[in-house]
Protein backbone atom coordinates (compact mmCIF):
# COMPACT_ATOMS: atom_id res chain seq x y z
CA UNK A 1 0.00 0.00 0.00
CA UNK A 2 1.44 3.43 -0.89
CA UNK A 3 2.50 5.67 1.96
CA UNK A 4 -0.24 8.28 2.19
CA UNK A 5 1.03 10.16 5.21
CA UNK A 6 3.71 12.79 5.61
CA UNK A 7 5.94 11.82 8.52
CA UNK A 8 9.34 13.41 9.14
CA UNK A 9 12.44 11.64 10.51
CA UNK A 10 11.50 12.71 14.05
CA UNK A 11 8.13 10.97 13.81
CA UNK A 12 6.13 14.19 13.47
CA UNK A 13 3.10 13.87 11.22
CA UNK A 14 2.44 16.85 8.98
CA UNK A 15 -1.26 17.68 8.91
CA UNK A 16 -1.12 21.47 8.52
CA UNK A 17 -0.11 23.53 5.48
CA UNK A 18 0.42 27.27 5.38
CA UNK A 19 0.04 28.27 1.77
CA UNK A 20 1.18 31.72 0.68
CA UNK A 21 -0.73 33.05 -2.31
CA UNK A 22 1.29 36.24 -2.86
CA UNK A 23 4.44 37.94 -1.60
CA UNK A 24 2.86 41.35 -2.24
CA UNK A 25 1.15 43.48 0.38
CA UNK A 26 -0.57 46.84 0.75
CA UNK A 27 1.23 47.40 4.09
CA UNK A 28 4.94 47.58 4.89
CA UNK A 29 5.08 46.48 8.54
CA UNK A 30 8.48 47.38 9.92
CA UNK A 31 9.15 43.93 11.43
CA UNK A 32 8.08 42.14 8.27
CA UNK A 33 9.20 44.10 5.21
CA UNK A 34 11.55 46.81 4.13
CA UNK A 35 10.07 50.06 2.83
CA UNK A 36 11.25 49.34 -0.70
CA UNK A 37 10.61 45.65 -0.93
CA UNK A 38 11.65 43.77 -4.08
CA UNK A 39 8.81 41.46 -5.04
CA UNK A 40 9.19 38.36 -7.17
CA UNK A 41 8.45 38.75 -10.90
CA UNK A 42 4.88 37.66 -11.60
CA UNK A 43 5.94 34.75 -13.81
CA UNK A 44 7.63 33.21 -10.78
CA UNK A 45 4.50 33.31 -8.66
CA UNK A 46 2.38 30.16 -8.73
CA UNK A 47 -0.85 30.46 -10.69
CA UNK A 48 -4.14 29.78 -8.91
CA UNK A 49 -4.24 26.38 -10.62
CA UNK A 50 -0.70 25.56 -9.41
CA UNK A 51 -1.60 26.64 -5.88
CA UNK A 52 -4.59 24.31 -6.01
CA UNK A 53 -2.41 21.44 -7.24
CA UNK A 54 -0.03 21.96 -4.32
CA UNK A 55 -2.91 21.98 -1.83
CA UNK A 56 -4.42 18.91 -3.51
CA UNK A 57 -1.15 16.97 -3.18
CA UNK A 58 -0.92 17.82 0.52
CA UNK A 59 -4.56 16.83 1.06
CA UNK A 60 -3.87 13.48 -0.64
CA UNK A 61 -1.04 12.99 1.86
CA UNK A 62 -3.19 13.58 4.91
CA UNK A 63 -3.14 17.35 5.46
CA UNK A 64 -6.34 18.34 7.27
CA UNK A 65 -5.85 22.04 7.79
CA UNK A 66 -4.82 24.77 5.38
CA UNK A 67 -4.11 28.37 6.25
CA UNK A 68 -3.92 30.84 3.36
CA UNK A 69 -1.42 33.60 3.96
CA UNK A 70 1.06 35.95 2.26
CA UNK A 71 2.11 38.80 1.88
CA UNK A 72 -1.45 39.98 2.08
CA UNK A 73 -3.59 37.14 0.72
CA UNK A 74 -6.62 39.34 0.05
CA UNK A 75 -4.74 41.38 -2.57
CA UNK A 76 -4.29 38.25 -4.73
CA UNK A 77 -6.64 38.50 -7.73
CA UNK A 78 -9.02 35.56 -8.09
CA UNK A 79 -8.39 34.34 -4.55
CA UNK A 80 -12.06 33.50 -3.97
CA UNK A 81 -12.07 30.99 -6.84
CA UNK A 82 -9.19 29.11 -5.20
CA UNK A 83 -10.91 29.29 -1.82
CA UNK A 84 -14.16 27.95 -3.26
CA UNK A 85 -12.34 24.89 -4.66
CA UNK A 86 -10.60 24.29 -1.35
CA UNK A 87 -13.82 24.93 0.55
CA UNK A 88 -15.39 22.02 -1.32
CA UNK A 89 -12.75 19.53 -0.12
CA UNK A 90 -14.43 17.42 2.57
CA UNK A 91 -11.05 16.04 3.71
CA UNK A 92 -10.20 19.43 5.23
CA UNK A 93 -11.19 20.08 8.85
CA UNK A 94 -10.14 23.71 8.59
CA UNK A 95 -9.64 26.39 5.95
CA UNK A 96 -8.35 29.61 7.48
CA UNK A 97 -6.83 32.92 6.39
CA UNK A 98 -4.35 35.27 8.04
CA UNK A 99 -4.95 38.84 6.87
CA UNK A 100 -4.05 42.40 7.75
CA UNK A 101 -7.77 43.22 7.50
CA UNK A 102 -7.45 46.12 5.07
CA UNK A 103 -9.70 44.49 2.42
CA UNK A 104 -12.08 42.71 4.77
CA UNK A 105 -14.82 45.30 4.69
CA UNK A 106 -15.37 44.48 1.01
CA UNK A 107 -14.45 40.80 1.11
CA UNK A 108 -15.56 39.24 4.43
CA UNK A 109 -18.93 38.01 3.14
CA UNK A 110 -17.38 36.52 -0.02
CA UNK A 111 -14.75 34.69 2.05
CA UNK A 112 -17.42 33.19 4.25
CA UNK A 113 -19.40 32.11 1.20
CA UNK A 114 -16.30 30.52 -0.34
CA UNK A 115 -16.00 28.21 2.67
CA UNK A 116 -13.35 29.94 4.80
CA UNK A 117 -13.93 28.80 8.37
CA UNK A 118 -11.62 31.01 10.42
CA UNK A 119 -9.89 34.36 10.22
CA UNK A 120 -6.78 35.69 11.95
CA UNK A 121 -6.49 39.45 11.70
CA UNK A 122 -3.29 41.30 12.55
CA UNK A 123 -3.63 44.36 14.77
CA UNK A 124 -0.66 45.86 16.61
CA UNK A 125 -2.21 49.08 17.87
CA UNK A 126 -5.53 50.83 18.34
CA UNK A 127 -3.91 54.27 18.01
CA UNK A 128 -3.83 55.67 14.48
CA UNK A 129 -0.33 57.19 14.75
CA UNK A 130 1.21 54.04 16.17
CA UNK A 131 -0.64 51.84 13.70
CA UNK A 132 0.84 53.97 10.90
CA UNK A 133 4.31 53.67 12.44
CA UNK A 134 4.03 49.86 12.56
CA UNK A 135 2.55 49.35 9.11
CA UNK A 136 3.87 52.46 7.30
CA UNK A 137 0.25 52.95 6.18
CA UNK A 138 -2.55 55.11 7.59
CA UNK A 139 -5.18 52.36 7.57
CA UNK A 140 -6.33 51.73 11.15
CA UNK A 141 -9.91 52.83 10.45
CA UNK A 142 -10.18 50.49 7.43
CA UNK A 143 -8.89 47.55 9.49
CA UNK A 144 -11.33 48.24 12.34
CA UNK A 145 -14.18 48.37 9.81
CA UNK A 146 -12.86 45.10 8.37
CA UNK A 147 -13.02 43.44 11.79
CA UNK A 148 -16.64 44.52 12.17
CA UNK A 149 -17.43 43.22 8.66
CA UNK A 150 -15.91 39.84 9.55
CA UNK A 151 -18.07 39.66 12.67
CA UNK A 152 -21.16 40.65 10.70
CA UNK A 153 -20.37 37.95 8.09
CA UNK A 154 -20.69 35.38 10.88
CA UNK A 155 -17.09 34.23 11.40
CA UNK A 156 -16.78 32.50 14.75
CA UNK A 157 -13.75 32.81 17.00
CA UNK A 158 -11.94 35.48 15.01
CA UNK A 159 -8.41 35.82 16.34
CA UNK A 160 -6.31 38.97 16.47
CA UNK A 161 -2.53 38.70 16.11
CA UNK A 162 -0.40 41.30 17.87
CA UNK A 163 3.39 41.52 17.65
CA UNK A 164 4.45 43.12 20.94
CA UNK A 165 7.44 45.45 21.05
CA UNK A 166 8.82 47.04 24.19
CA UNK A 167 8.38 50.83 24.21
CA UNK A 168 6.20 50.70 21.09
CA UNK A 169 2.96 48.94 22.00
CA UNK A 170 3.57 46.96 25.21
CA UNK A 171 1.58 49.63 27.08
CA UNK A 172 -1.41 48.78 24.87
CA UNK A 173 -1.61 45.08 25.73
CA UNK A 174 -4.54 45.53 28.13
CA UNK A 175 -6.38 47.84 25.74
CA UNK A 176 -6.02 45.37 22.87
CA UNK A 177 -7.13 42.50 25.08
CA UNK A 178 -10.18 44.44 26.26
CA UNK A 179 -11.01 45.40 22.66
CA UNK A 180 -11.00 41.64 21.89
CA UNK A 181 -13.02 40.76 25.00
CA UNK A 182 -15.70 43.34 24.21
CA UNK A 183 -16.24 41.65 20.81
CA UNK A 184 -15.78 38.04 21.92
CA UNK A 185 -12.61 37.69 19.81
CA UNK A 186 -9.48 35.69 20.67
CA UNK A 187 -6.05 37.32 20.64
CA UNK A 188 -2.48 36.04 20.33
CA UNK A 189 0.54 38.03 21.42
CA UNK A 190 3.64 37.29 19.34
CA UNK A 191 7.35 37.61 20.10
CA UNK A 192 9.10 39.13 17.09
CA UNK A 193 11.22 36.70 15.08
CA UNK A 194 14.55 37.58 13.42
CA UNK A 195 13.37 37.10 9.83
CA UNK A 196 14.80 39.52 7.26
CA UNK A 197 16.89 42.64 7.95
CA UNK A 198 14.94 45.51 9.50
CA UNK A 199 16.03 49.15 9.71
CA UNK A 200 13.36 50.64 11.97
CA UNK A 201 14.44 49.09 15.26
CA UNK A 202 17.00 46.90 17.07
CA UNK A 203 15.13 43.71 17.70
CA UNK A 204 17.05 42.95 20.87
CA UNK A 205 16.02 46.30 22.36
CA UNK A 206 12.33 46.10 21.54
CA UNK A 207 12.00 42.43 22.52
CA UNK A 208 9.10 41.77 24.87
CA UNK A 209 8.74 38.21 26.12
CA UNK A 210 5.46 36.34 26.37
CA UNK A 211 6.03 36.08 30.15
CA UNK A 212 6.21 39.87 30.38
CA UNK A 213 3.00 40.23 28.38
CA UNK A 214 1.28 37.66 30.57
CA UNK A 215 2.17 39.47 33.77
CA UNK A 216 0.92 42.75 32.28
CA UNK A 217 -2.40 41.07 31.59
CA UNK A 218 -2.66 39.34 34.95
CA UNK A 219 -2.43 42.65 36.76
CA UNK A 220 -6.04 43.12 35.69
CA UNK A 221 -7.40 39.88 34.22
CA UNK A 222 -6.63 36.48 35.76
CA UNK A 223 -5.81 33.88 33.11
CA UNK A 224 -6.75 30.22 33.26
CA UNK A 225 -4.74 27.65 31.30
CA UNK A 226 -6.74 26.42 28.30
CA UNK A 227 -6.46 22.92 26.89
CA UNK A 228 -6.90 24.33 23.37
CA UNK A 229 -3.92 23.27 21.23
CA UNK A 230 -3.16 23.59 17.54
CA UNK A 231 0.06 21.58 17.36
CA UNK A 232 1.64 24.94 16.69
CA UNK A 233 3.57 27.65 18.49
CA UNK A 234 0.64 29.17 20.39
CA UNK A 235 0.02 28.31 24.01
CA UNK A 236 -3.51 29.24 25.06
CA UNK A 237 -5.10 30.72 28.14
CA UNK A 238 -8.61 31.91 28.82
CA UNK A 239 -9.56 35.21 30.46
CA UNK A 240 -11.42 34.20 33.62
CA UNK A 241 -15.14 34.90 33.26
CA UNK A 242 -14.92 35.62 29.53
CA UNK A 243 -15.02 33.63 26.28
CA UNK A 244 -11.79 35.22 25.05
CA UNK A 245 -8.79 32.95 24.57
CA UNK A 246 -5.33 34.46 24.83
CA UNK A 247 -2.47 32.86 22.92
CA UNK A 248 1.25 33.43 23.34
CA UNK A 249 3.52 32.72 20.41
CA UNK A 250 6.97 32.47 21.94
CA UNK A 251 9.61 31.45 19.42
CA UNK A 252 12.34 32.82 21.71
CA UNK A 253 11.22 32.04 25.22
CA UNK A 254 9.39 28.78 24.62
CA UNK A 255 10.63 26.35 22.01
CA UNK A 256 7.66 24.76 20.27
CA UNK A 257 9.37 22.55 17.71
CA UNK A 258 8.84 19.16 19.38
CA UNK A 259 5.22 18.90 18.32
CA UNK A 260 5.50 20.81 15.03
CA UNK A 261 2.87 19.56 12.58
CA UNK A 262 3.29 22.08 9.77
CA UNK A 263 5.14 23.16 6.66
CA UNK A 264 4.88 26.24 4.50
CA UNK A 265 4.79 26.83 0.77
CA UNK A 266 5.77 30.27 -0.53
CA UNK A 267 3.96 32.06 -3.36
CA UNK A 268 6.89 31.11 -5.60
CA UNK A 269 6.35 27.46 -4.79
CA UNK A 270 9.21 26.93 -2.36
CA UNK A 271 8.48 24.34 0.30
CA UNK A 272 9.81 25.71 3.60
CA UNK A 273 10.21 22.93 6.13
CA UNK A 274 11.03 25.18 9.10
CA UNK A 275 10.52 28.92 9.65
CA UNK A 276 13.92 29.16 11.33
CA UNK A 277 16.01 27.59 8.54
CA UNK A 278 16.97 28.82 5.08
CA UNK A 279 16.48 25.44 3.41
CA UNK A 280 13.59 25.08 0.94
CA UNK A 281 12.64 22.80 -1.91
CA UNK A 282 11.57 24.14 -5.32
CA UNK A 283 8.10 22.73 -5.99
CA UNK A 284 7.52 25.08 -8.91
CA UNK A 285 9.98 23.20 -11.07
CA UNK A 286 8.18 19.94 -10.23
CA UNK A 287 4.81 21.55 -11.03
CA UNK A 288 5.98 23.07 -14.30
CA UNK A 289 8.31 20.20 -15.26
CA UNK A 290 5.61 17.53 -14.89
CA UNK A 291 2.26 19.31 -15.40
CA UNK A 292 -0.65 17.29 -14.07
CA UNK A 293 1.57 14.56 -12.61
CA UNK A 294 0.14 14.31 -9.08
CA UNK A 295 2.06 11.14 -8.05
CA UNK A 296 5.36 12.87 -8.96
CA UNK A 297 4.41 15.92 -6.87
CA UNK A 298 3.40 13.77 -3.89
CA UNK A 299 6.67 11.84 -4.14
CA UNK A 300 8.61 15.14 -4.10
CA UNK A 301 6.74 16.16 -0.92
CA UNK A 302 7.46 12.83 0.80
CA UNK A 303 11.15 13.06 -0.06
CA UNK A 304 11.39 16.69 1.06
CA UNK A 305 9.88 15.84 4.43
CA UNK A 306 12.91 13.68 5.18
CA UNK A 307 14.90 16.94 5.36
CA UNK A 308 12.70 18.70 7.95
CA UNK A 309 15.00 20.05 10.69
CA UNK A 310 14.42 19.00 14.27
CA UNK A 311 14.09 22.56 15.56
CA UNK A 312 14.96 26.21 15.05
CA UNK A 313 17.51 28.16 17.09
CA UNK A 314 16.33 31.77 17.16
CA UNK A 315 18.71 33.99 19.11
CA UNK A 316 18.01 37.47 20.40
CA UNK A 317 21.55 38.76 19.91
CA UNK A 318 21.37 38.23 16.15
CA UNK A 319 19.30 40.79 14.26
CA UNK A 320 18.86 38.55 11.22
CA UNK A 321 19.05 34.81 11.27
CA UNK A 322 17.03 33.97 8.24
CA UNK A 323 17.31 36.44 5.36
CA UNK A 324 13.85 35.54 4.09
CA UNK A 325 11.27 38.05 5.37
CA UNK A 326 8.10 36.70 6.97
CA UNK A 327 6.11 38.17 4.06
CA UNK A 328 8.07 35.91 1.70
CA UNK A 329 7.75 32.76 3.80
CA UNK A 330 4.10 33.29 4.66
CA UNK A 331 3.43 33.93 8.32
Nearest to ligand SF4 of 16, 27 (CB atom): 27
Contact between 267 and 39 (Cβ < 8 Å): no
User: Per rule CB under 6 A, is residue 19 in the interface with ligand SAM?
Assistant: no
User: Per rule CB under 6 A, is residue 140 in the interface with ligand SF4?
Assistant: no
Q: Which of 119, 140, 163, 304 binds ligand SAM (CB under 6 A)?
A: 163
Least Cα distance to 325 among 275, 260, 263, 259 occurs for 275
Q: Which of 22, 103, 161, 206 binds ligand SAM (CB under 6 A)?
A: 161
Tell me which long-range contacts 177-184 makes (C-beta under 8 A, separation of at least 24).
Answer: 177/217, 177/221, 177/239, 177/244, 177/246, 179/126, 180/244, 181/221, 181/239, 181/242, 181/244, 183/147, 183/151, 183/158, 184/243, 184/244
User: Per rule CB under 6 A, is residue 70 in the interface with ligand SAM?
Assistant: yes
Binders of ligand SF4 among residues 119 to 138 (CB under 6 A) are: 122, 135
* Shortest distance in whole angstroms from residue 232 CB to ligand SAM: 13
Q: Which of 22, 98, 169, 210 binds ligand SAM (CB under 6 A)?
A: 98
Binders of ligand SF4 among residues 75 to 94 (CB under 6 A) are: none
User: Per rule CB under 6 A, is residue 31 in the interface with ligand SAM?
Assistant: yes
In this structure, the chain runs to a length of 331
- Site mask for ligand SF4 (CB under 6 A), range 16-55, x = bound: ---------x-xxx--xx----------------------
28's contact among ligand SF4, ligand SAM, none, with CB below 5 to 8 A by partner kind, is ligand SF4
Q: Per-residue b/e over 54-69, b at no fewer than 16 CB within 10 Å?
A: bbbbbbbbebebbbbb
Binding-site size for ligand SAM (CB under 6 A) equals 19
Nearest to ligand SAM of 122, 206 (CB atom): 122
How many whole angstroms separate alpha carbon 213 and alpha carbon 42?
40
* Shortest distance in whole angstroms from residue 107 CB to ligand SF4: 15
**DSSP type of residue 7:** B
Q: Which of 8, 23, 72, 186 binds ligand SAM (CB under 6 A)?
A: 72
Cα angle value 265/269/275 (rounded, 5°) = 35
- What is the number of other CB atoms lying within 10 angstroms of the CB of residue 121? 22
* Shortest distance in whole angstroms from residue 73 CB to ligand SF4: 9
Nearest to ligand SAM of 100, 298 (CB atom): 100
User: Per rule CB under 6 A, is residue 30 in the interface with ligand SAM?
Assistant: no
The full 3-state SS of 204-266, as one line of letters, equals HHHECCHHHHHHHHHCCCCEEECCCCCCCCEEEEEECCCCCEEEEECCCCCCCHHHCCEEEEC
Residues that bind ligand SAM (CB under 6 A): 25, 31-32, 69-70, 72, 98-100, 122, 161, 163, 190, 192-193, 195, 326-327, 331
Amino acid sequence: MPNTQLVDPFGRRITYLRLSVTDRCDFRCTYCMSEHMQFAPRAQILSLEELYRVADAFIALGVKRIRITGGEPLVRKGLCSLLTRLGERDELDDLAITTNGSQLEAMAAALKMAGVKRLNISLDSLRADRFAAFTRRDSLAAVLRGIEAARAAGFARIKLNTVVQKGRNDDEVLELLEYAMARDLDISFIEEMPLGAVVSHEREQTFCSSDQVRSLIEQRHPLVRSSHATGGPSRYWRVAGSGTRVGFISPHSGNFCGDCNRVRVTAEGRLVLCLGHEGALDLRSVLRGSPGDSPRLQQALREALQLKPERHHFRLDQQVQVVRFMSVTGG
